[in-house]
Structure formats: structure tokens, C-alpha cells
């Protein structure tokens, strides 16, 4: 019997209009454009402004465009997974809100939380539903409104993050394209270095938690940096070795966009040149679950059927992982 694989048959991204530049950040915290650019590679990021605007807005816009591009009727969607760390609410799932807004009446939908590795986790999970043969159209969204949990008085963390999201459509194929392999990892002992102190069941919101600024990202930047460099490079090298791929066989590295220095270290380890690395950190910063689909969207016109892509991410949890996929279509 021929193996059914999941292929990405379309991608779309969406970012809000408001551009928060390094120059503007210089007026908010004690920093400089030069420091941010040289330490992270980020020049600007997008911010979702407006009352009542949550992560679902990013997802809804990304999915609407995806359905249009791929000529998909919302009623055909079987499953919608939203990878996010900044859900609209603690419950219901942001995926439920997105599915309702786009009219995916026949879909079941759920959120997946794996911080910056969320999209890789969700594509791997979504592809398994396709591989069983039971589901035909799975939408995977990666979106985060990071500005909702960032302390704009804390200069080491606030310069990194931005808002944005993207979505892909997964469909079955019997051709030699699609999701070929994935490696997913987690290590909960890393929680101490990157977490949000309050607002969960362990420490519900109170006047005191708000006064103590405990509803924002707590990040020990240099500790996270060391784990990210090692693990993102290791898992990328591991998935290449597992699939007998050399640097020259890889058409594109699609890395999570957290810090240009982490991305460079991963590319060096994979022995691939910078011309093969998708990069948009300079314009969007770290959009957490949004970075990888936003990269695929930005570079879609350069992708050809059969291209070998390695998607790699590292994030809070700690979580990390890599996907090896063969791109399934030529540019239109």
C-alpha cells in the first residue's frame, strides 16, 4: 500500500500594520538601535493595537487569506489546530474562536501550547491526522500577540518580541513530497529560565501579582540563549543525519526567528550557507508560534516542488524540534 503523507498545500501570513521600530524603543527603554541590531538582528516588529484585539485576529486574517489562495471552502476543513502561547482567553481555545469566525462548521479545533516550538509541534501533530487517512484538510495556525505579555519597562526582553501569525493547509499526498520526518523534544526543567509567574492555576491573578508585574514574560536571556544555540543546532544536525542529508542536499533552513546569532550557529552546524536560510527577524522580531509560517509565507515565491526544507525551533518549556519536509508545489 502506498504511504499517505501530509503535504503543505498552501501558506499565508498576517501581521498588524503598526511598526514598532528600534528607534521608537529607544524612547521607551534605555537601549539603542545599534545594540538591538548587533545582538539580535531585529530592526522592527509589528504590534496589534486596539481594544479587544487578541491572537485570534492574527489567526483569522491568516486563515481567511489561506482559504482564498487555496480555493478551500471553510466547510471542507476537518481540523484546525492553533499553536499559541497568548490565547485570547484561558478558555475556550483560540482555535475554536478562529474556526467559528471563518465558518469552519465541520471542523473540530484545539490549541497547542509549546511556546516558540508550537508551530513545529502542531504541524507534526496535524500531519498524523492526515497520515491515518481519516482526515483530508487540516489547518495549522501559529500566532502570537506577544505584546500582550511583554513588560515594556524591561529592556532585555521587550526588544525581542512582536505580534504576527501564519497558517498552512495540510492535505494528503501519495507523491514523494510533504512531511518526511520530525523530531520533537522537551525538557520541563528549563521552565525556571523562561515562564510567566502568575495568572495560571498555581498563582491566580490578584492585585499583588499585578503590582509585582508577574503577568509578563520572565526570561533569563543568556541562559535561554545557551540552551537555544545548542539544542536547535543539535536537533537540526540530528534530523539531517537520520535522513542521510548533507548540507548541499538542504534547499532551505526555516529557523525559528529568536535571535540572528542562534540562527547563524544552526546554519554553521548544518554546513549550509546564509543564502539558504530564511530570515525575516529584522522586520518582525520573535513572534513565537508565528515565526516559521511567516517565513514560509515570505519565501513562498522562491520555493519549488521537491525542495528539501528543514524547519527548526527552540522555545519555552524548554521545547525544541525539527521537521524535514519536501515542498509540494511550484510558485504560481
Return d(Cα 275, Cα 78) in angstroms, integer: 37
| Binding of ligand COA by 140 (CB under 6 A) | no
CB closer to ligand COA out of 127 and 286: 286
**Binds ligand COA (CB under 6 A): choice among 21, 31, 230, 251:** 31
- 277 touches 255 (CB < 8 A): yes
| Binding of ligand COA by 155 (CB under 6 A) | yes
Q: How many CB atoms lie within 10 A of CB 150?
A: 21
The angle at the Cα of 265, spanning 323 to 32, to the nearest 5 degrees, equals 115
Active-site residue, 256 included? yes
| Binding of ligand COA by 258 (CB under 6 A) | yes
Q: What angle in degrees, to the nearest 10, is found between the helix axes of 260-270 and 221-242?
A: 30
- Among positions 98-137, residues that touch ligand COA (CB under 6 A) are 116
Interacting stretch for ligand COA, rule CB under 6 A, among 125-133, 143-151, 169-177, 223-231?
A: 223-231
Interacting stretch for ligand COA, rule CB under 6 A, among 54-62, 124-132, 154-162, 293-301?
A: 154-162
At residue 253, φ and ψ (nearest 5 deg) are: -95, 130
- 113 touches 55 (CB < 8 A): no
- 124 touches 97 (CB < 8 A): no
Is the dihedral angle over the CA atoms 74, 78, 84, 87 positive or is it negative?
Answer: positive
**Binds ligand COA (CB under 6 A): choice among 221, 247, 276, 308:** 221
- The distance of closest approach from Cβ of residue 176 to ligand COA in the complex, given in angstroms and rounded to an integer, is 32
- The distance of closest approach from Cβ of residue 207 to ligand COA in the complex, given in angstroms and rounded to an integer, is 29
- 306 touches 247 (CB < 8 A): no
Return d(Cα 241, Cα 285) in angstroms, integer: 30
Binding mask 173-202 for ligand COA (x = CB under 6 A): ------------------------------
Which of the following is catalytic: 82, 193, 286, 295? Answer: 286
Active-site residue, 280 included? no
Provide the 3-class DSSP secondary structure of residue 296. helix
**Binds ligand COA (CB under 6 A): choice among 21, 33, 39, 195:** 39
CB closer to ligand COA out of 43 and 155: 155
Q: What angle in degrees, to the nearest 10, is found between the helix axes of 291-299 and 118-131?
A: 70
Q: How many CB atoms lie within 10 A of CB 182?
A: 20
* Residues forming beta bridges with residue 16, ordered by sequence position: none
| Binding of ligand COA by 159 (CB under 6 A) | yes
Return d(Cα 16, Cα 20) in angstroms, integer: 11
CB closer to ligand COA out of 104 and 146: 146
Which of the following is catalytic: 82, 116, 158, 295? Answer: 116
CB closer to ligand COA out of 172 and 255: 255
| Binding of ligand COA by 311 (CB under 6 A) | no
Q: Which residues bind ligand COA (CB under 6 A)?
A: 31, 35-36, 39-40, 116, 155-156, 159-160, 219, 221-222, 224-225, 228, 258-259, 286, 314-315
Catalytic residue positions?
116, 256, 286
Amino acid at each position: 500500500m502506498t504511504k499517505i503523507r501530509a503535504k503543505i498545500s498552501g501558506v499565508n501570513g498576517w501581521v498588524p500594520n503598526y511598526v514598532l521600530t528600534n528607534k521608537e524603543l529607544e524612547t521607551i527603554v534605555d537601549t539603542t538601535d545599534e545594540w538591538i541590531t548587533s545582538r539580535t538582528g531585529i530592526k522592527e516588529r509589528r504590534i496589534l493595537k486596539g481594544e479587544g484585539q487578541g491572537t485570534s485576529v492574527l489567526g483569522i486574517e491568516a486563515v481567511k487569506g489561506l482559504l482564498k489562495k487555496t480555493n478551500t471552502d471553510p466547510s471542507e476543513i476537518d481540523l484546525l489546530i492553533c499553536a499559541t502561547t497568548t490565547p485570547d482567553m484561558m478558555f475556550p481555545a483560540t482555535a475554536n474562536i478562529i474556526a467559528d469566525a471563518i465558518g469552519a462548521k465541520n471542523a473540530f479545533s484545539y490549541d497547542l501550547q509549546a511556546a516558540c516550538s508550537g508551530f513545529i509541534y502542531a504541524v507534526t501533530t496535524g500531519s498524523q491526522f492526515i497520515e491515518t487517512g481519516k482526515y483530508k484538510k487540516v489547518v495549522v495556525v501559529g500566532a502570537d500577540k506577544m505584546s500582550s505579555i511583554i513588560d515594556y519597562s524591561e529592556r532585555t526582553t521587550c526588544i525581542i518580541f512582536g505580534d504576527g501569525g501564519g497558517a498552512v493547509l495540510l492535505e494528503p499526498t501519495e507523491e514523494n513530497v510533504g512531511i518526511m520526518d520530525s523530531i520533537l523534544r522537551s525538557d520541563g526543567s528549563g521552565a525556571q529560565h523562561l515562564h510567566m509567574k502568575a495568572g495560571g492555576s498555581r498563582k491566580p491573578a490578584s492585585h499583588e501579582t499585578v503590582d509585582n508585574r508577574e503577568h509578563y514574560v520572565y526570561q533569563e536571556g543568556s541562559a535561554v540563549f545557551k540552551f537555544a544555540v545548542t539544542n536547535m543546532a543539535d536537533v537540526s544536525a540530528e534530523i539531517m543525519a537520520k535522513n542521510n542529508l548533507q548540507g548541499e542536499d538542504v534547499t532551505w533552513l526555516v529557523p525559528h526567528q529568536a535571535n540572528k546569532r542562534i540562527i547563524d550557529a544552526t546554519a554553521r552546524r548544518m554546513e549550509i550557507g546564509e543564502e539558504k536560510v530564511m530570515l525575516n527577524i529584522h522586520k518582525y522580531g520573535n513572534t513565537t508560534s508565528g515565526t516559521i509560517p511567516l517565513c514560509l509565507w515570505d519565501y513562498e515565491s522562491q520555493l519549488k516542488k521537491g525542495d528539501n526544507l528543514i524547519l527548526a525551533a527552540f522555545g519555552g518549556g524548554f521545547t525544541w524540534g525539527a521537521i524535514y519536509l519536501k515542498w509540494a508545489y511550484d510558485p504560481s
